Amino acid sequence: MKNMTEKEKMEKIREVLEKNKALTHAITILHWDLETEAPKDSVERISKTLGYLTGENYSMIINDEFKNLVYSINVEELDEVDKKIIKELKKEYFEKLEKIPKEDYMKYSELTVVSTKKWEEAKNKDDFDIFKTYLSEVIEYNKKFIKYRGYEENPYNTLLDDYEPEVTVKELDEFFNNIKNELSPFIKKIVEKKKSDKETEDKKKLSEMTFDITKQKEMSLYALNLIKFDFNKGILKESEHPFTTNVNNKDVRITTHYYEHDLLSSVYSTVHEGGHALYEQHIDDKISDTILGTGVSMGIHESQSRIYENMFGRNKEFLKFIFPKIDEMFGLSKSGIDFESFYKLTNEVQTSFIRTDADELTYPIHILIRYELEKEIFSNLDEKTDVDKLAEKWADKYEEYLGIRPKKYKEGILQDVHWSDGSFGYFPSYALGSAYAAQIYDAINQKINIDRELKKGDFSQINEILKEGIHKYGKMKTPKELIENITGKSFDSKHYINYLKEKFSEVYGIE
């Protein structure tokens, strides 16, 4: 190593990372298979395989020889991409992963595979007892990992940083307080506004309709083609909980879920995942197969999924464009639902139990609830979390913030997959992503007329602006740098609050 040039060191590092990427590829495909097509009885075998592969992946990077190589290189002699690769390696592996013992890491990997399947079973049977032991184990492992890794100011900050680098409890407290103070009274005003007889009747009509699953699948493909999802580099399948998986920018896979009596759920979950996928498909080829070749944070990722799902997908001009196709396929007009009714139903505000079905306006309150629960869970690393009480606290907070109390576990603590696979710290990125999206939307609208483009169903210019402003960079820029890059300003939640108030004042005719 002493006689190696910096170029030779970097070539050696890239060689190791190439092998690491190949193993990661296999792990990713196995996870994908597990969630989409693997037989039920294969879960135990696959979880062991994943545990082994994860252990091999760990050993390939976490060893003294490789660490010494990484830390011996003079970054000043490297180009910008290689500098960033070294920085990312140090942060993700040697400042995070290395601190977790390999045995714990492998056991945790196996646990989360089984835990996710137990969550799915518990949700389907509405039986929290099936899952709660696994949830408890996953929580305690995460507390142990925080102790291994260390934290600044608040233990929860360590988990938050995994999904949104540099964001802290202090910043999120301020963000969610703004959401609570500004939006709660506005939501109350809208929810209390009496619906007209026609609005009530239209909603009843839509809920009583049956939407052929085969046609829904066709509609999902149509929507993805509209936003220019590249099917040569991606695929759409079904799963219990819609998600996006990426291997590289040439292999990005998404799923959705179809309900016979809910057309909007599959359409918007497909467009949501499509937004995630476009981000990954647009990453620059130069970095795609490196550790920089993915989205920089979940907040930025969610900004892309939610800008497509909500700000483009529920936009009045876009709905004018797409309504004739929906009407042709599902016969809404024949059932007495015209465009204006459809627009209002698509943007209806109502308090509901299920986060993924929540409207744009109440959605951040669902995230606020999860944020407060997670913050409490990890405020004390030495005290075991009582998961039965956690289920009760979930229900209490829904009653406090939205005035409704879930009577079923699948409407409460069992509704999300995130805790089953240990994704603590992820939820706040959904609300941050929505807030980022509003600011990005305003910036795009200053460059082109968004309504005019959506009226034509044309995403060409929109996609190009997002690709050049955010997508192509992968992890080359930080979230804060990307927001400034595309908007010219630092992040400000007022864009989000103003967007929601203006939009729903118009939809509901509120002065």
The binding site consists of 272, 276, 302
Q: Which CATH number fits domain 169-378+424-508: 3.10.20.30, 1.10.3720.10, 1.10.10.10, 1.10.1370.30?
A: 1.10.1370.30
What confidence score (pLDDT) does residue 1 get? Answer: 62
Give 202's pLDDT tier (boundaries 50, 70, 90): very high
- Active-site residue identified among 273, 309, 374, 411: 273
CA pair distance 231, 179, nearest whole angstrom: 38
Query: pLDDT digit string (tens) for 320-358?
Result: 999 999 999 999 999 999 999 999 999 999 999 999 889
Contact of 294 with 280, CB cutoff 8 Å: yes
Contact of 310 with 437, CB cutoff 8 Å: yes
Return the structure tokens found at 441: 């939307």
Query: pLDDT digit string (tens) for 28-53?
Result: 999 999 889 999 899 889 989 998 99
Mean pLDDT of the chain: 95
Question: In the chain, where does the domain assigned CATH 1.10.1370.30 lie?
Answer: 169-378+424-508
Return the structure tokens found at 490: 């630092």
- The yes-or-no answer on residue 98 being catalytic is no
Report pTM.
0.91
- Amino acid 185 reads P
Query: pLDDT digit string (tens) for 210-222?
Result: 999 999 999 999 9
CA pair distance 72, 58, nearest whole angstrom: 20
Query: pLDDT digit string (tens) for 405-455?
Result: 999 999 999 999 999 999 999 999 999 999 999 999 999 999 999 999 999
59: number of Cβ within 10 Å: 11
What confidence score (pLDDT) does residue 329 get? Answer: 97
Q: What is the architecture of the domain spanning 6-152?
A: Up-down Bundle (1.20)
Number of H helices, E strands in the chain: 22, 3
CA pair distance 311, 441, nearest whole angstrom: 8
Rg (the chain; Cα; Å): 23
The binding site for Zn(2+) consists of 272, 276, 302
Question: In the chain, where does the domain assigned CATH 1.20.58 lie?
Answer: 6-152
Query: pLDDT digit string (tens) for 224-265?
Result: 999 999 999 999 999 988 999 999 999 999 999 999 999 999
Q: Quickly tell me which residue has 């809208």 as its tokens.
A: 190
User: To 10 degrees, the CA torsion angle through 321, 323, 329, 330?
Assistant: 170
